Structure 1
Amino acid sequence: MLAKYRELRNARAGVMQLGQDPFGVVFDRILSATEATLDGNRVVLLGTNNYLGLTFDQSCMDAAARAVREEGTGTTGSRIANGSYGGHAALEARLAGFLKRRHAMVFSTGYQANLGALAGLAGPQDHLLLDADSHASIYDGARMAGAQVTRFRHNDPEDLRRRLRHLADQPGEKLVVVEGVYSMLGDVAPLRDIAAVKREAGAWLMVDEAHSLGVLGEAGRGLAEAHGVEPDVDYVVGTFSKSLGAVGGFLASDAEDFDLLRLASRPYMFTASLPPSVIASVTQAITVLETQPLLRGRLHRNVARFHAGLAAAGLSTGPSASPVASIRCPDQGTAIVFWNRLLAAGIYVNLAIGSATPGGKPLLRTSICAEHTPEQIDHAVVTIREIAASLGFFQTVDAAE
């Protein structure tokens, strides 16, 4: 049955010949939001998406522990079959209030949130217009919906406008799907322009705020808040596994008959619901977002420090200074060696190769946390710079450009 993955096996073996398996790292212990031990050595975590460091927030951990003691470890079934716990409904109301929406529904993962949202909203008669760099969960949701898919060039409102005009006489609804912060390069969508195109065409707009929730906007609601276009966004989808420090996902909207999606979205209907501990920690994490805005300030200072340090070293990290910073590598071999040397030096980042990256170009992907100390940021910058220099990286990248 697995013979069809022979090429994948050979590719993985080739990666492992150059050092550790980057897709099979097992930490001995997670010490904090920013440190772990690996093979007995301390490692700075620079690739976790833990933007606000809330995995170790004491109030969130206390809420989770209380919920386990009072309501057990899990729900053992879907909400459709087993019913909802009070915490599920309370979290949905809390999310809706935080996002200033009338309705919200919770999924068991962020991946399922996109899967369930798109499969529930769109059908074979509808059109989904997807940014070309959309996350795999968005493409998988589109396939599950069976809708007609049109890709437009990444962050290109004019290309979106042309494609919507081409579809103007076609029957069915048109739903545009973009992300707030794109997960590989950390660039943000030109949401004001996209919202204007959406209004012009009479289409609908869904924004995946997975990597922008808690990070952007005065209140931390994401890119739509930061760009002042929340009324133009018909559906907001996101995850609890980034800034909120847990696992799960959500869909929020002001749409009439929103609750019908609970009966139309198979990824919602047929998946066990989130356990009480996660519901409790996420509910508390929203309170932390609302009451501790200094966390976002600390995150943005760390982001600025890290980006400035890499820029001073001659390394480009993409068009936007966001918590995601990716270093483009000239080839896969260089990226793998670079990743291994960073890990040996006590810096853990993400190695991104193959179809997961824009244009298939290899990347070293980092994500900054509010809990990183200035010393950790500076240590990471110096280490990255020294390894890049030892690989002749600057000359190689300059020649490629």
Structure 2
Amino acid sequence: MTAQAGRPSVRGTAPDLFDKFQPLIDQRAALLAGGLTDPFNLVMERVESPTVAICNGRRTILLGTYNYMGMTFDPDVIAAGKQALDEFGSGTTGSRVLNGTYQGHRECEDALREFYAMDHAMVFSTGYQANLGIISTMAGKDDYVILDTDSHASIYDGCGLGNAQIVPFRHNDVEALEKRLKRLPADAGKLVVLEGVYSMLGDIAPLKEMVAVSKEAGAMVLVDEAHSMGFIGEHGRGVAEAQGVIDDVDFIIGTFSKSVGTVGGFCVSNHSKFEILRLVCRPYVFTASLPPSVVATAATSIRKLMSGGAKRTHLLENSKRLHGGLKELGFTLGTDEPQSAIIAVIMPDLERGAAMWEALLHEGLYVNLARPPATPQGMTLLRCSLCAEHSGAQVGEILGMFEAAGRKVGVI
């Protein structure tokens, strides 16, 4: 029926679907009005190494890339990618359960099984999809997902896709987790989701205690080790290894976009029924698989990380020196002591945080500007992620840049 036939037209009365973003649009416009470089749209014109790029025409030290082990320019990694590109082409054009499993995907999963000394490994197209897929598949409508309030967006989205009951508990609070678990039905399916290192503040979870109370309550445990793989633990297997509970964890989720130095995600497990997930996990079944060159670089990088002890030691030294130096300069940091390769510098507000970010960029240093609602407790953070390839001289340069920018902006 047309409007002329008696049905009133509603054209022009419906709200613009962008209206819900108007506060953010206004905030961004206000920040950029004074000529501020857009901190969320920086272009790197050339990348020279894991620690240096050309940004806005000048040499810039990279301190916000999550390239923890500096594998992006490793000669063996690059050679493996080039060879796979030549031999298998640029892409798979299919999902893993159709035509998207190449020899390289199996070799990458073999490398993961060897790295973690586990029975099963499943490679996803991104780390986000790994969380989305495993959580949504394992925890359904009548199940419970118990998670830390500071959990990554992919964890929350995995809960939403699976339609599970979400039970949050206070960040890194073992007692709060135990209380939540005791309130749940004893016969209900329960999945406790934790992270080894939390990406905003760089703090570490008390996994030893949390895994113990979770198992006591009959829950399965998933640990996201995205920001600890390669660096933390004797073999670089993450916080679960470092705290001696890796054998008690049911699933470990990780990503290739941090220490591995490429893109993709994975889940490893010792559960005897794990392989059925390849047929029932929708984000795995219905997504095109990673290009052959990507899984080749990932497999090569993972195998090299197995002997990365010297790099891990150097990265820890860098973290201690930068954390101590920033603290001595008078900056407020996210942790009292260095716990990971992430060091969060807390800013008084978004405006001064953005000004400090630009002042650092002008000095020749790139860091991440993190803002609410992504950050805990409404904080504005300058998030620094160190690399094992940063030299001692570069860490000294970084401290000098922070001091100059901090005094210019009035933060210190």
1:74 and 2:67 aligned: no
- 1:332 offset after TM fit, Å? 0.9
Alignment correspondent of 1:397: none
Q: What is the rounded CA distance, in whole Å, between the counterparts of 1:14 and 1:327 in structure 2?
A: 23
Distance 1:17 1:381 in 2: 29
What is the rounded CA distance, in whole Å, between the counterparts of 1:128 and 1:212 in structure 2? 22
SS of 2:318's partner is helix
**Equivalent residues in 2 for 1:89-104 (5 A)?**
89-104=106-121
Deviations 1:133-186 (A, max 9, x none): 0000000001001000000000001000000001144x4211110101100100
* 1:337 aligned to which of 345, 349, 355: 355
Q: Which digits, 9 at most, give the CA deviation of each residue in 1:115-145, with x for residues without a partner?
A: 0110111111110001000000000001001
SS in 1 for 2:171: coil
Asked if the contact 1:128–1:175 (Cα under 8 Å) also holds between the matched residues in 2, the reply is: yes
- Tell me the distance in 2 between the aligned counterparts of 1:82 and 1:158: 48
1:366 alignment partner, SS class: strand
Could you tell me the percent identity over the aligned residues? 48
Equivalenced residue count is: 393
* Alignment match, 1:86: 103
TM value normalised by structure 2 = 0.93
The SS at the match of 2:332 is: coil
Q: Confirm whether residue 8 of structure 1 aligns to residue 24 of structure 2.
A: yes
The amino acid that maps onto 1:340 is: E
The whole-number CA distance in structure 2 between the counterparts of 1:317 and 1:228 is 28
2:160 aligned with 1:143: yes
Contact kept in structure 2, 1:168 and 1:201, CA below 8 Å = no
Residue number among 236, 240, 265 corresponding to 2:256 in the alignment: 240
2:381 aligns with 363
112-121 or 256-265: which moved more?
256-265
Please list, as runs of the form range in 1=range in 2, the aligned pairs for 1:1-400 lying within 5 A after superposition. 2-4=17-19, 5-18=21-34, 19-169=36-186, 171-319=187-335, 320-321=337-338, 322-394=340-412
**Offset of 1:11 from its aligned partner?**
2.1
C-alpha distance in structure 2 between counterparts of 1:83 and 1:373, whole Å: 40
Equivalent-residue separation in structure 2 for 1:7 and 1:162 (angstroms): 37
Structure-2 separation of matches of 1:125 and 1:84:
33
1:222 Cα shift?
0.4
Query: Using the alignment, how far apart are the partners of 1:228 and 1:15 within structure 2?
Result: 46
Normalising to structure 1: TM-score of the pair?
0.96
CA distance 1:83–1:365, shift in 2 (3 Å): closer
**3-state DSSP of counterpart to 2:167:** strand
RMSD: 1.2
Residue 2 (structure 1) shift: 4.8
Q: Secondary structure at the match of 2:306?
A: helix
Stretches of structure 2 lacking an aligned partner (at least 5 in a row): 1-15
Query: In the alignment, is the contact (CA less than 8 A) between 1:313 and 1:385 conserved in 2?
Result: yes
Please identify, of 223-232 and 286-295, the stretch whose mean Cα deviation from structure 2 is larger: 286-295
CA distance in 1, matches of 2:277, 2:32: 44
Partners of 1:14 and 1:37 in 2: CA distance: 27
Q: In structure 2, what is the Cα distance between the partners aligned to 1:274 and 1:341?
A: 38
Distance 1:55 1:349 in 2: 18
- Residue 359 of structure 1 deviates from its aligned partner by 1.2
2:262 touches 2:294 (CA, 8 Å); kept in 1? Answer: yes
Q: Give, as a single letter, the amino acid of the residue that structure 2 aligns with 1:98.
A: F
Q: Deviations over 1:26-70 (max 9, x none)?
A: 111111100011121110001000001000111100110111011
Greater displacement, 6-15 / 133-142? 6-15
| Aligned match of 2:10 | none
Alpha-carbon separation, structure 2, partners of 1:375 and 1:97: 35
- For residue 300 of structure 1, give the secondary structure of its aligned residue in structure 2: helix
| SS of equivalent to 1:363 | strand
Aligned residue identity for 1:292: G
Measured after TM superposition, the shift of residue 291 of structure 1 is 2.3
Q: Which has the larger radius of gyration?
A: 2
CA displacement, residues 294-339 of structure 1 (integer Å, 9 cap, x when unaligned): 1111111111111111121122322251110011111111101000
Letter of the 2:18 counterpart:
A
Distance 1:327 1:308 in 2: 12
Q: Name whichever of 373-382 and 220-229 sits farther off.
A: 373-382
How far does residue 83 in structure 1 lie from its aligned partner after superposition? 4.1
Residue type of the alignment partner of 2:349 = D
Greater displacement, 112-121 / 76-85: 76-85
SS in 2 for 1:291: coil
The answer to whether the 8 Å contact 2:115/2:303 transfers is no
Give the letter aligned to residue 386 of structure 1: A
Gaps (5+ residues) in structure 1? 395-401
Moved more, 235-244 or 281-290: 281-290
